[in-house]
Structure 1
Amino acid sequence: MGNCLDCKTSDGQDKTRRTNNIQRPQHNDTSYKAVKKDSLKLEVNESFPNLQHISDREQFVEEDTDDPSLHPRISTLFMSKSQTLEVVRERRKQHQLQLLNARAANHRRSKGLTKSSSCSTIYIDDSTVTQPNLKSTIKCVALAVYYHIKNRESDRQMDIFDEKSHQLTKDPVPDDYFKVNPEHKHIYRFIRMLFNAAQLTSECAIVTLVYLERLLTYAEIDITPANWKRMVLGAILLASKVWDDQAVWNVDYCQILKDLTVDDMNELERQFLEMLQFNINVQSSVYAKYYFDLRALADAYEISFPSELLSKDRAQTLEAITRLCDEKARDQTFQELKRSSSVDGIHLGPKFTAAIIS
Structure 2
Amino acid sequence: MLSEQSTATVRATLPAVGAAIGDIADLFYTKLFDAHPELLRDLFNRGNQASGAQRQALAGSIAAFATQLVERPGTRPDVMLDRIAHKHASLGVTPAQYEVVHTHLFAAIAEVLGEAVTPEVAAAWDEVYWLMANALIAIEERLYAQQGVVAGDVWREWEVVGRTEETPDVASFRLRPADGSPAPAFRPGQYVSVQVELADGAHQIRQYSLSSAPGSPYRAITVKRVLGDNAPDGEVSRHLHAHVREGDRLRVSAPYGDLVLKSDDAPLLLASAGIGCTPILAMLEHLAGTGHSAPVTVVHGDRSPADHALRADHALFTEKLPDSAAHFWYENPEPGHPADRTGLVDLSSVAVASGTHAYLCGPLPFMRAVRTQLLAKGVPAADIHYEVFGPDLWLAQD
Calculate the TM-score normalised by the size of structure 2. 0.22
Which has more strand, going by share of residues? 2
Which has more helix, going by share of residues? 1
The higher radius of gyration belongs to 1
Calculate the TM-score normalised by the size of structure 1. 0.23
